[in-house]
A and B are shown apart, each in its own frame.
Chain A
Amino acid sequence: MQPNVEAVQPQFRSGISGEKTGGMGFVFDDLIPDLQETDGTSFTALLELPPPQAVELLVKEDSPAKTMPLPIFPSNIALIDRASLFSVFASADNPPDRTNILSVSSSMKIDSVKQEPLEPEYHRNSSSPAVSNQSLKSIKRKEREKKVKKSSKKVVANEASDGSGEQLPYVHVRARRGQATDSHSLAERARREKINARMKLLQDLVPGCNKISGTAMVLDEIINHVQALQRQVEFLSMRLAAVNPRIDFNLEALLAVDSESSIDNSYLGMFPPSIWPEGQMNGSRQQQPWLIDGLNLPSMGRVDDTSNFITPENSLLSYDSPANSGAETLHLSQLKMEL
């Protein structure tokens, strides 16, 4: 295998070579006309093909490649590495091809120095620190596999579109340039993408998280926010507990405002009409029917009010009215300061 390997090495070029000495080089020339997109780097286009087909082509012994001229020695060393490491096809079932490919790739391992200039590329490709961690791991796997711009094995149909197709039933994760296509890393990448999407939602929800970058900081903010909200709930429940014994009293007092309506005055005459702070509640009249409805208070001849119940309930309790929200935000800020 060795002599074949060494013969194959110098044949690679960006446009793919066609020397026929090894069982490998000429194959690319076969592929060149077959490929749909040949934008100079037909090696990468080669890798667009699904593994079985590519292996077929690799295995093919007969080809018109003999007529091809000698290839130009590639100037870019990185491309040599990339070209040699087409072991993505190793995922196919054919063991002899695998050994061939692996031997080629192992021969390139000798030039391990060349791996280093590839690393910055990986870092450029990764968008988040989490992904970059993963890409670092995948670099180590690179020696065995491929840095390839190729669709994942899981794709049922061979598409040439960019981006990951997330609408299809299969997990279509496209391996970006410079990332491994191992099923493990693909699964990891899909998982990471899910996690990042959810984190984005959370960032929108928690105020002040948009400016922070980095998973740890955002998580910090989220934790702080949840703790603050829980503390607020605790505090408010304490206050409500203090007011609690007087709930019935208060609610009937609330009803007293509406005593001028058809409600029986004799019952409510005992409670003086309460004076509402207008800033806190708009449309207090509208609230009465709602409260009455919710409390099942003794019947007070509310037949006339039933018609009022339905329509005001839609506009009830305008929590977010400007005056209300002003009072409430003040209240909330007071609460926070007290906390």
Chain B
Amino acid sequence: MAESSNSRKRRKIDPDSQTRIQPETGPTRWRTQAEQQIYSSKLIDALRHVRRGGHGGVRDAADRVLAASARGRTRWSRAILTNRLSLRLAQINRKHKKAARPSAGKSRPRKPAKKLPPVESKVKVLSRLVPGCRKVSLPNLLEETTDYIAALEMQVKAMTFLTGLLNAGAAAPA
């Protein structure tokens, strides 16, 4: 209950200084044009530095730029920024060891079904989708999902625009 009272205190303060704080927090901030422009410019910058991409090089760069523009306020953004190196290593390791190592009875402990409530299983699926939210409580998970969906939508818009821009730029002189 302490955290709920804290969050209530925070929400109580917010309407007072709404002009400045409100656009900064909450999922609505992803919808502003300014955010989109900032993201696009940063993305272009990052794309020029993408290495001779392995699979998903551009995708990771785009996600990282997105997480960076979140200013570290959300869990998923922090998870994306801190995980890129470890994920890369894990991918490489997995590719190397995939053929070599047989799964030593790891699937068996997972067979006995503990909980069957459909809501619970969906919550787990959702927590796997949102990066960095596997062991997060349900209300926080929902909040993270809200922010994540808004951010993803902005990302799609920006990338679509950039793709069109670059394609048109490529097509015209050619």
Chain A's interface size range is 35 or more
* Residue in contact with A243 in the complex, picked from B37, B40, B118, B170, CB distance below 8 Å: B170
A-B contact count (CB 8 A): 184
Please report the C-alpha to C-alpha distance between residue A233 and residue B59 in the assembled complex, in whole angstroms: 7
B105 within 8 A of A: no
Bits for B41-68, please: 1 = Cβ < 8 Å to A, else 0.
Answer: 1001101101001001111001100000
A310 within 8 A of B: no
Please report the C-alpha to C-alpha distance between residue A182 and residue B12 in the assembled complex, in whole angstroms: 28
Q: Is the CB of B165 within 8 A of A254?
A: yes
A202 within 8 A of B: yes
Q: Is the CB of B164 within 8 A of A280?
A: yes
* Residue in contact with A251 in the complex, picked from B36, B129, B167, B169, CB distance below 8 Å: B169
Bits for A161-196, please: 1 = Cβ < 8 Å to B, else 0.
Answer: 000001111110000000000000001001100110
Q: Is the CB of A229 within 8 A of B126?
A: no
Q: Is the CB of A331 within 8 A of B8?
A: no
Q: Which residues of B contact A324 (CB under 8 A)?
A: 161
A96 within 8 A of B: no
Q: Is the CB of B139 within 8 A of A281?
A: no
* Residue in contact with A241 in the complex, picked from B27, B57, B170, B172, CB distance below 8 Å: B57
Q: How far is the CB of A282 from chain B (nearest CB, A)?
A: 12
Q: Is the CB of A253 within 8 A of B159?
A: no
Q: How far is the CB of A318 from chain B (nearest CB, A)?
A: 8
Question: Which residue of chain B is the closest to A219 with respect to CB atoms?
Answer: B122
Q: Is the CB of B4 within 8 A of A194?
A: yes
Question: Which residue of chain A is the closest to B12 with respect to CB atoms?
Answer: A167
B residues 98-122 touching A (CB-CB < 8 Å): 118-119, 122
Known: A229-B156, A234-B59. A198 touches B139 (CB 8 A): yes
Which of B16-24, B81-89, B142-150 is near enough to bind chain A? B142-150
A residues 268-304 touching B (CB-CB < 8 Å): 271-272, 274-277, 280-281, 290-291, 294-295
Known: A247-B44, A280-B164, A319-B161. A190 touches B142 (CB 8 A): no
Q: Which residues of A contact B162 (CB under 8 A)?
A: 240
Q: Which residues of A contact B149 (CB under 8 A)?
A: 202, 205-206, 222, 225-226, 229
A216 within 8 A of B: yes
Known: A171-B1, A195-B142, A294-B45. A205 touches B159 (CB 8 A): no
Question: Which residue of chain A is the closest to B118 with respect to CB atoms?
Answer: A216
Please report the C-alpha to C-alpha distance between residue A253 and residue B162 in the assembled complex, in whole angstroms: 14
Q: Is the CB of B12 within 8 A of A237?
A: no
* Residue in contact with A220 in the complex, picked from B36, B50, B62, B122, CB distance below 8 Å: B122
Known: A229-B153, A317-B40. A201 touches B146 (CB 8 A): yes
Q: Is the CB of A238 within 8 A of B58?
A: yes
Known: A274-B169, A328-B161. A195 touches B152 (CB 8 A): no
A53 within 8 A of B: no
Q: Which residues of B contact A230 (CB under 8 A)?
A: 129, 152
Bits for A36-59, please: 1 = Cβ < 8 Å to B, else 0.
Answer: 000000000000000000000000
Q: Which residues of B contact A244 (CB under 8 A)?
A: 47, 50, 53, 58
Please report the C-alpha to C-alpha distance between residue A277 and residue B168 in the assembled complex, in whole angstroms: 7
Please report the C-alpha to C-alpha distance between residue A34 and residue B154 in the assembled complex, in whole angstroms: 60
Known: A190-B1, A216-B119, A223-B125. A281 touches B165 (CB 8 A): yes
A211 within 8 A of B: no
Q: Which residues of B contact A280 (CB under 8 A)?
A: 164-165, 168
Q: Is the CB of B118 within 8 A of A198?
A: no
Across the A-B interface, the 6 shortest Cβ-Cβ residue pairs = A250-B169, A198-B142, A274-B172, A237-B59, A229-B152, A236-B159
In addition to A233-B156, A250-B165, A328-B161, 11 A-B residue pairs with Cβ atoms within 8 Å of each other are A198-B146, A205-B150, A226-B129, A226-B149, A232-B156, A237-B59, A247-B44, A250-B166, A317-B36, A317-B161, A332-B156
